[in-house]
């Protein structure tokens, strides 16, 4: 009996031993598998991050490469002296059409003349005899731009106001119609004489406006006087709305302007200031250099007694002058000229013609309706 009991205990002990050994062998495998699964879970995010870093590096390299190429292009452009142009600026320049002048819209350039003038309106008169030597659309009423400033100067000069009185540029003098620029910043103070000089010689808009604004009675009174003077001189085609010429509503005919030039030439102040080649004014610590807008005044072959230029897109290039040519005192009016220097070219063509007419007795000219202008 005891032997059977010991045998049963021994078998039970053997079975328990096998179970313990099996558990010991299975546990490490399970733990290893668990660790492997955990490792895979950890490696997967790490691999994604690594891939992302690699992609980021590729992007960064591409950008840096692009930057290098752009820098290389900029260096090449700089070396070649070529300035990069934005595509948008090019497209805008191609889309925006040139603004037509009133003369172009009226077809005045279709009128031809023997001198092939580039101005659609022209008038040349002998100042002493009033003989008309050349006329082309001389009754057409057009915007006159800064030729306006001749009347502005005439009103100021005849008023005998103190020329040493200081005048300060204000915001009211800033051009809000055309957006034109000026070196006379708001707050600049010059004398009335200096303002008049700049207005007549270099067509300074803020100076001209300040002259009208500070006139006794104000700007409205000044413009009324401009129109009253025009009526008194018989300038029936003329109208002024402001003293600078920036408004296209300032209009006149060549006939009227010839009358104004004749009267203005009789004023020594206007003669001197309008034909001054250059002028300097002290503004604060700076000295500003201004030049005449009419390059012919610096030409020693010309004898110019009075002049004024003008330009706005509605008026085209304009020029009026009193000059002595071939021993004759002439008044010249050119309106709505096409081309930056064409008005000066027209004056040269007239001078050459008058000089040749003196030698060969050429007749006076009248423009005819034709196929070119």
- Among this protein's residues, is 112 annotated catalytic? no
Give residue 370's pLDDT.
47
- Among this protein's residues, is 146 annotated catalytic? yes
| Residue in 203, 248, 253, 337 annotated catalytic | 203
User: String of b and e for 41-78 (b: at least 16 CB within 10 Å)?
Assistant: eeeeeeeeeeeeeeeeeeeeeeeeeeeeeeeeeeeeee
Distances (CA, A) of 199 to 124, 315, 355: 25, 18, 32
Helix runs in 81-175, H state only: 87-95, 102-105, 148-159
pLDDT band at 339 (very low <50, low <70, confident <90, very high): confident
Q: What is the CATH number of domain 104-369?
A: 3.40.710.10
How far is 59 from 291, CA to CA, in rounded Å? 57
Domain ranges of the chain: 104-369
Structure confidence by residue, pLDDT tens digits, 301-330: 999 999 999 999 999 999 999 999 999 999
Residue 120, SS3 per DSSP:
strand
Structure confidence by residue, pLDDT tens digits, 121-161: 999 999 999 999 999 999 999 999 999 999 999 999 999 99
| Residue in 149, 157, 202, 253 annotated catalytic | 149
Token digits of residue 25? 């062998």
- Among this protein's residues, is 342 annotated catalytic? no
Residue with tokens 């080649």: 277
DSSP string for residues in 59-89: HHHHHHHHHHHHHHHHHHHHHHTPPP--HHH
List CB contacts of 367: < 8 A, sequence separation 6 or more. Answer: 111, 112, 113, 122, 134, 135, 136, 137
pLDDT at 37 over 80: no
Residue bearing the bigger pLDDT, 106 or 70? 106
CB 351 within 8 A of CB 325: yes
| Residue in 146, 157, 247, 342 annotated catalytic | 146
pTM for this prediction: 0.73
């Amino acid at each position: 009996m005891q032997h059977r009991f010991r045998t049963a205990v021994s078998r039970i002990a053997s079975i328990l031993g096998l179970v313990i050994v099996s558990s010991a062998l299975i546990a490490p495998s399970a733990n290893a598998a668990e660790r492997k699964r955990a490792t895979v879970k950890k490696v997967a995010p790490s691999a994604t991050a690594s891939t992302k870093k690699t992609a980021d590096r590729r992007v960064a390299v591409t950008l840096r490469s692009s930057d290098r190429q752009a820098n290389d292009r900029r260096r090449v452009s700089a070396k070649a002296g070529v300035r990069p142009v934005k595509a948008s600026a090019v497209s805008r320049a191609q889309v925006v059409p040139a603004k037509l002048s009133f003369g172009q819209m009226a077809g005045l350039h279709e009128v031809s003349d023997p001198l092939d003038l580039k101005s659609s309106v022209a008038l040349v008169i002998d100042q002493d005899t009033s003989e008309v030597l050349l006329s082309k659309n001389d009754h057409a009423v057009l915007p006159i731009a800064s030729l306006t400033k001749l009347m502005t100067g005439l009103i100021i000069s005849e008023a005998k106001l103190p020329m040493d009185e200081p005048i300060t540029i204000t915001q009211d003098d800033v051009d809000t119609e055309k957006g034109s620029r000026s070196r006379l910043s708001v707050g600049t103070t010059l004398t009335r004489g200096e303002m008049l000089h700049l207005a007549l010689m270099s067509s300074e808009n803020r100076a001209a406006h300040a002259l009208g604004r500070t006139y006794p009675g104000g700007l409205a009174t000044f413009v009324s006087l401009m129109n009253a003077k025009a009526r008194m001189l018989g300038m029936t085609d003329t109208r002024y709305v402001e003293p600078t010429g920036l408004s296209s509503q300032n209009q006149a005919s060549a006939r009227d302007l010839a009358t104004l030039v004749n009267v203005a030439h009789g004023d020594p102040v206007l003669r001197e200031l309008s034909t001054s080649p250059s002028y300097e004014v002290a503004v604060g610590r700076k000295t500003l250099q201004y030049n005449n807008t009419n390059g012919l005044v610096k030409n020693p072959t010309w004898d110019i007694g009075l002049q004024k230029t003008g330009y706005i897109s509605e008026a085209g290039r304009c020029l009026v002058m009193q000059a002595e040519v071939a021993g004759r005192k002439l008044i010249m009016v050119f309106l709505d000229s096409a081309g930056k220097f064409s008005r000066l070219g027209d004056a040269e063509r007239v001078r050459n013609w008058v000089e040749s007419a003196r030698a060969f007795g050429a007749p006076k000219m009248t423009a005819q309706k034709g196929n070119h202008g």
